[in-house]
Amino acid sequence: MARFQASKYILMKNVITVKGVTKIYNPDTIPVHALRGVDLQIGEGEFTALVGPSGSGKTTLLNIIGGLDDASDGSVIINEQDIAKLSDSQTIEFRKQNIGFVFQAYNLIPVLTAKENVEFVMLLQGASQSDRDARVKELMSAVGLSDHLDRRPSQLSGGQQQRVAVARALASKPMFVLADEPTANLDSKSTADLLDIMAKLNKEENITFLFSTHDQRVIDRARRVVNLDDGAVISDKTIE
Amino acid sequence: MVFKIAWRNIGRNKRRTAITAASIFFAVLFSVASESLNRGVFDGMIDSTVSFYVGYIQVLKKGYWEDRTLEESFEMDEKLTSVLNNVDGVDDVVPRLESFALASFGKITKSALVIGIDPQKEDALTGLAGRLIKGGTYLQKDDKEVMITSGLAEKLNISVNDTIILISQGYHGVNAANRYRVKGLISFGSPELNSKLIYLPLSAAQDFYGAENLITSLVLDVKDKNTSDLALQSLEKSIDYQTYDIIDWKDMMPEIIKMKEIKESSNKIVMFVLYLIIAFGVFGVILMMTKERKFEFGVLLSIGMSRVKLAFTIWLETVFLGFVGAIFGLVISYGLMYYLSVNPIVVTGDMAETYAKFGIEPLLPASVDLDIFITQALNVFVLTTLLAIYPCLAIWKMKAVDAMRA
C-alpha cells in the first residue's frame, strides 16, 4: 500500500511543497510557536483537508502557503517558485495568477454583483470582455447560479455567496484553491451542495483544493486528510 | 471597475457617506460664511465711506493730490467731461472745488474745508440731501448760501438762518472773504468729516475763491468698486496723463486698505483654525472608514488586487465624496450668502453705535463674489483629497493577513 502511494506521488506533479516551515509569533516578547517544522507536499488534482483542533496551525499554514504571511523558517515552493523570495508586489501578482482563495466569511465585494465578483480577478489579470463573459458563464453554471448573475451578495444566501466565492476563486484558472473553513458558516444542505460542486470541479477539471476544516462532512469527502496538532503534522492519510 | 467600485461604495454605507459628505459640506459652508461676511463687511465699509464723500475715482490736475492748493485747480472743460462721461461704467461726472477757509460766527473762528458742489449731482453721488438735519433745506445751484456739518455748527454755536463769515486765500493769492446764510445743517457719521465741512454751490465757491470756471476735482459716479476697476482700465486709454492724475478709492483711502489687509491677515489665522477643525472632522471620518474596512482591504489584497489599485480606489471614493460635499456646500452657501447680501444681519447695541459713529451702516452684509465660493470649495476639496492619502498609506503598509485578522 505504501509503495503504491509512493509511486502515485511520483507520477503526480507537486504543486505545493512545504519544507520545514516554522512560524513563531512575537519572537521577541512571548514567543508562540504556531508551526513547528511542517513538511508537506500537495500534488496536482488533490482534494486535501487540513484538519486539527483550534490553534493547531491550520490557518497559519494556509496563509503561509498563500503568501499572505511569512514563515519564520523553512520554505514554500509553488510550482518551483520559492514564494519567500518574491517582493511584496510580486507576491500579490503571484497570488492573482496562481492561487484561488475561499474564505470562511465568503468575503465577496458587497458593491459588485455575483457576475462582477467572479470576473473581478480576471479584470485584474487584464482578461478581455469576451473571455470574462465566457468564463463567468461557465463557472456560474458550474456552481449552479446561472440565474443569479446580477444579484449582489446581500441578495444571496450564505450558501449561494460561498458558491460565488468558489467561482471567484476559480475565475483566474489558478494552480490550486486554498479554502479556509469554507463550510463553517453554512447549513447542512449548503455544505453538501458546496462540497458536491468542489468535488465535481476537482474530478472533472483536475483543480487542486486544499481546505482547512473542522467539519466532519468536509473531512468525509476529502481524498487526503492531513492532521495538524500544536503546529506539527501528526498524520497524513490518503483515502482510497 | 475601479471607478465602479469607488462609486458604488459611496452608496454602500449611507450613514458613513452622509457623515463624510456632511463634514465636507459644513466645511465649505463655514469657510464661505467666514470669508463672505468678512469681505461683505469691508466692502460695505468701503462703499459707505466712498459714497459719503470721496467717490470711487477722481480726476485731478497733475500734482493736486500732493499739494492740495487752488493753484493746482483746472478748468471745467466740456471736452474732458464728455470723454469721462463716455467711459464704460461711469454714470456721471461730479465737479468739486475744494479749499480751506476760516469760518467765523460771533467771536468764534474755526478752520473748515469748503467744498463747492453741483448740488443735484452731488446728491446723486453721495446722497447729501439725505443728511440734512434740523429743518433746513438743501442747496440749489444758484444759491449764495451754505450748508455746514453739525459738528462744526456746534463748535461755532451757529444754526440755520444764522450768517457765517468765511475768510481765505483765493486763486493766485487773492483775498477771499464773504458771508453766507446757513441754509441747512448736515450730519456725517465720521466725527472727522462732521467737524469741518462747509458746502457751497459750485458757482458761489468759484466766486468766493476768485477761481472762475475752475475746479479741483471731477468725481466719477460709478456703481461699485468692481465697476470702478473696469472704468479705470478704460480711462487709461482716454485720459491725458501728462495733464491729469486719476486717483481711485484705494489711493484716496490707504488707511481702509491697510485695515482691510490687517483684517484679512487675522482672518487667515481664523481660517487656518477653521480648516484645522474641518481637517480633524473629515480625517476622523476617513480614519473610521479605514478601520471599519480593514478586513475588506485585506481580502482584496489577498485575492490579488495590487496596493496601488486598491489605494487609488479608496482615494477615488473619498474624492467623489469630497466633490459631492463641496458642490452641495457651494450651492447651499451661495444661496445663504445671497440671502444675507440682500437681507444683511442687523447689528444692534453698542456695536451698532460704534458703526454709526464711523458713518457705517450697522449691518453685516455678505459678499457674493464668486471667487470666495470657488476658492473655499476648492480648498476644502483639496484638503479632503489630501486627507484621503491616509487610507492609501494604511493600505500601502497593510499586511493582508493582519488586516483579515482585525
Residue-wise pLDDT for B257-308, tens only, equals 888 888 888 888 888 888 888 888 888 888 888 888 888 888 888 888 889 9
Nearest CA in chain B to A106: B299
| Cα distance from N-terminal residue to C-terminal residue, chain A | 10
- Could you give the CA distance from residue B368 to residue A106 in angstroms, rounded to a whole number? 53
**B244 belongs to a structural domain:** no
Question: What are the helix (H) ranges across chain A?
Answer: 2-11, 58-65, 88-98, 114-125, 129-142, 158-171, 188-205, 216-221
Interface residue A33 vs chain B (CB under 8 A): no
Q: Residue B157, CB half-sphere, CA atoms under 13 Å: how many? A: 5
Helix or strand run (H / E) with residue B63 = none
Residues B42 and B142 occupy one common structural domain: no
Q: Are residues B33 and B74 in the same domain?
A: no
Spell out which residues of chain A touch residue B296, defining contact as CB-CB under 8 Å: 107, 109
Residues B163 and B267 both lie in one domain: no
Query: ∠ CA(B381), CA(B387), CA(B390), 5° rounding?
Result: 150
For A111, the closest of B5, B309, B404 (CB atoms) is B5
Q: Decide if pLDDT at B189 tops 80.
A: no
| Domains of chain A in sequence order | 2-238 (3.40.50.300)
Residue B236 lies in a domain: no
C-alpha grid cell, residue B360: 457705517
Nearest CB to A123: which of B1, B302, B306?
B1
Question: Which of A174-183, B49-58, B305-314, B391-400 is least confident?
Answer: B49-58
Q: Which residues of A touch B12 (CB under 8 A)?
A: 110-111
CA distance A54 to chain B (A): 15
Domain range holding B358? 2-50+256-405
Contacts B317 to A, Cβ<8 Å: none
Helix (H, G, I), strand (E, B), or coil: what is residue B392?
Answer: helix
Residues of A whose CB is below 8 A from B401: 63, 68-69
Mutant choice from A97, A111, A123, A150 vs B, greatest count of B C-beta within 10 A: A111
Question: What span, in angstroms and rounded, lies between the C-alpha atoms of A117 and A100?
Answer: 13
Residue at B312 is within a domain: yes
Contact B1 A116 (CB under 8 A): yes
| Minimum-distance CB partner of B9 among A66, A111, A125 | A111
Out of B174, B207, B223, pick the residue that ends a domain: B223
Q: Mark yes or no for CB contact B302/A97 under 8 Å.
A: no
Dump pLDDT digits (tens) for B163-184.
999 999 999 989 999 999 999 9
User: Does residue B300 belong to the interface with chain A, where contact is any CB pair within 8 Å?
Assistant: yes
- Rounded CA-CA distance B246/B244 in Å is 7
Do A96 and B303 make contact, defined as CB atoms within 8 angstroms? yes
Q: Is residue B380 included in any domain, yes or no?
A: yes
B289 inside domain: yes
Note whether residue B232 is domain-resident: no
> CA of A136 to nearest chain B CA: how many angstroms apart?
16
Residue A8 pLDDT > 60: no
Q: Which residue of B has its CA nearest to A99?
A: B303
B296 shares contact with chain A (CB less than 8 Å)? yes
- Residue B45, pLDDT > 80, answer no
In this structure, are residues B171 and B214 in contact, taking their beta carbons and an 8 Å threshold? yes
Interface test with B, best of A64, A68, A89 (most B CBs within 10 A): A68
Q: Establish if B39 belongs to a structural domain.
A: yes
Beta bridge partners of A32: A25
**CB-CB neighbors (< 8 A) of B299 in chain A:** 103, 107
CB atoms A112 and B306 under 8 Å: no
* A-chain residue closest to B8, CA distance: A111
What b/e readout covers B318-331, taking b as 16+ CB neighbours within 10 angstroms? bbbbbbbbbbbbbe
Which residues are B121's β-sheet partners?
Answer: none
Dist. CA B127–CA B221, nearest whole Å: 12
Average pLDDT, stretch A223-232?
Answer: 92
Give yes or no: residues B21 and B139 share one domain.
no
Amino acid sitting at position B19: I
> Which residues from chain B sit within 8 angstroms of residue A128, using beta carbons?
none
Express each pLDDT in B114-133 by its tens digit: 999 999 999 998 889 988 98
Range with the poorest average pLDDT among A228-232, B145-149, B353-357: B353-357
Cβ-proximal residues to B51 (8 Å cutoff; 6+ apart), any chain: B125, B126, B127
Q: What is the mean pLDDT of residues A217-222?
A: 88
- The DSSP bridge pattern shows strands A73-78 and B145-149 to be unpaired
User: Same domain, yes or no, for B85 and B137?
Assistant: yes
Q: Are residues B17 and B35 in the same domain?
A: yes
Question: What's the confidence (pLDDT) of residue B100?
Answer: 94
Whether pLDDT at A1 is above 50? no
Interchain pair A97, B401: CB under 8 A: no
Question: Residue A103: its chain B contacts at CB < 8 A?
Answer: 299, 404
Name the residue in chain B with its Cα closest to that of A125.
B304
Q: Which residue has the higher pLDDT, A145 or A6?
A: A145
Task: Determine, yes or no, domain membership for B235.
Answer: no
Do B90 and B120 share a structural domain? yes
For the ranges B34-48, B139-153, B183-197, the maximum mean pLDDT occurs at B139-153
**pLDDT for residue B11 is more than 80:** no
* A and B: number of Cβ contacts within 8 A: 60
Instruction: State how far residue B330 is from chain A, nearest Cα, in angstroms.
Output: 29
Question: Looking at the 3D structure of chain B, how many domains does it have?
Answer: 2
| pLDDT tops 90 at residue B138 | yes
Rounded Cα–Cα distance for residues A208 and A181 (Å): 16
Q: Give the per-residue pLDDT at A2.
A: 36
Note whether B39 and B24 are same-domain residues: yes
Q: Which residues of A touch B10 (CB under 8 A)?
A: none
State whether residue B393 sits within 8 Å of chain A by CB: no
Residues B70 and B208 in one domain: yes
Looking at the fold, whether B158 and B208 belong to one and the same domain comes out as yes
Nearest to B302 among A97, A101, A109 (CB): A101
Start-to-end CA distance of chain B, whole Å, equals 26
